[in-house]
Amino acid sequence: MSECIFCKIINGEIPSDKVYEDEKVIAFNDINPQAPVHILVIPKEHISSIKEIDENNGDIIKHIHLVINRIAKEKGLDEKGFRIVNNCGEEGGQTVGHLHYHLLGGRQLQWPPG
């Protein structure tokens, strides 16, 4: 049994507020939202971070981006804009070791982040 909390969400061991699912990815609302829309988009395959992406598994990144576009449209973010964030490693602020993209929107976002 995996100890990864996002694998547990994928398996249904931990409940989540799912907004999208297909055979390769799921997307769910972040438990600690930083914007009116804050959704995590993750591959169902356990990939620990963007560092694990290479030529052999890179198709998932394209797929995640297409899913993000679809969700952004569904949430009405495509007109005003949105942000996608991937935190990688300790200094990158990654706290969950399962590849995930944050989709943030619904308010004016500041740049650069802290």
| Residues noted as catalytic | 100
DSSP string for the chain: ----HHHHHHHTSS---EEEE-SSEEEEE-SS-SSSEEEEEEESS---SGGG--TTTTHHHHHHHHHHHHHHHHTT-TTT-EEEE---TTTTT--SSS--EEEEESSPPPSS--
Q: How far apart are CA 94 and CA 88, in angstroms?
A: 5
Q: Is 46 in the site for Zn ion (CB under 5 A)?
A: yes
For the bound state, the minimum distance from the C-beta of residue 18 to ligand 5GP, rounded and expressed in Å, comes to 9
Q: Work out what residue 32 binds among Zn ion, ligand 5GP, none; the CB cut-off runs from 5 to 8 Å by kind.
A: ligand 5GP
Q: Is 7 in the site for Zn ion (CB under 5 A)?
A: yes
**Interaction mask 37-76, ligand 5GP, x per CB under 6 A:** ---x------------------------------------
Give residues in contact with ligand 5GP (CB under 6 A).
5, 14, 16, 28, 30-32, 40, 87, 93-96
Give the binding site for Zn ion (CB under 5 A): 4, 6-7, 46, 98
